[in-house]
Amino acid sequence: MIIPRFTKSEEAGSMAANAIVLPMTFLFGAFFQLREMPGHLQRISVFPLTYMNQGLRDALVHGNMEGACLNLALVVIVALALMGVAVLITRWEVE
């Protein structure tokens, strides 16, 4: 919601969002565990997507629902905060 706000068209906004999300899936543990990454990449992996991936891995692979719920709670809090920022910076126009 925030990234397309700064582009001129929906297509450009979608492309910009994809250009950011695709590297994030590789850097933040979607396809392999973070402990297998080099140390300098492990330090930059503290983003909400990391916690979402870890929560899914805890629930689906390890059966650890407590760990999954804690990770999910963190992701929900960050999502609500970013949604609030998106609402604040969006210009609402009455037609």
DSSP string, 25-86: HHHTTSSS-GGGS-HHHHHT--SHHHHHHHHHHIIIII--HHHHHHHHHHHHHHHHHHHHHH
Distance (Å, whole) CA 51 – CA 68: 9
Asked if residue 62 belongs to a domain, the reply is: yes
Q: What angle do CA 40, 44, 50 make, to 5 degrees?
A: 125
The pLDDT of residue 95:
65
Report if residue 66 sits inside a domain. yes
Q: For the chain, how far is it from start to end, CA to CA, in angstroms? A: 21
Q: What is the mean pLDDT of the chain?
A: 83
Full domain range(s) for residue 17 = 3-89
Per-residue pLDDT tens digits for 26-39: 777 777 777 888 88
Name which of 92, 77, 78 is nearest 5 in CA terms.
92
- The percentage of residues in the chain with a pLDDT greater than 70, rounded to a whole number, is 93
Q: Do 90 and 3 contact (CB within 8 A), yes or no? A: no
85 pLDDT exceeds 80?
A: yes
Where is mean pLDDT largest: 13-17, 73-77, 89-93? 73-77
For the cut 70, the answer to whether the pLDDT of residue 93 exceeds it is: no
Residue 51 in domain? yes
Structural domain count, the chain = 1
Position 49 in a domain = yes
Q: What is the pLDDT of residues 44-59, one digit of tens each?
A: 777 788 888 888 888 8
26 lies in a domain?
yes
Residue 95 located in a structural domain:
no
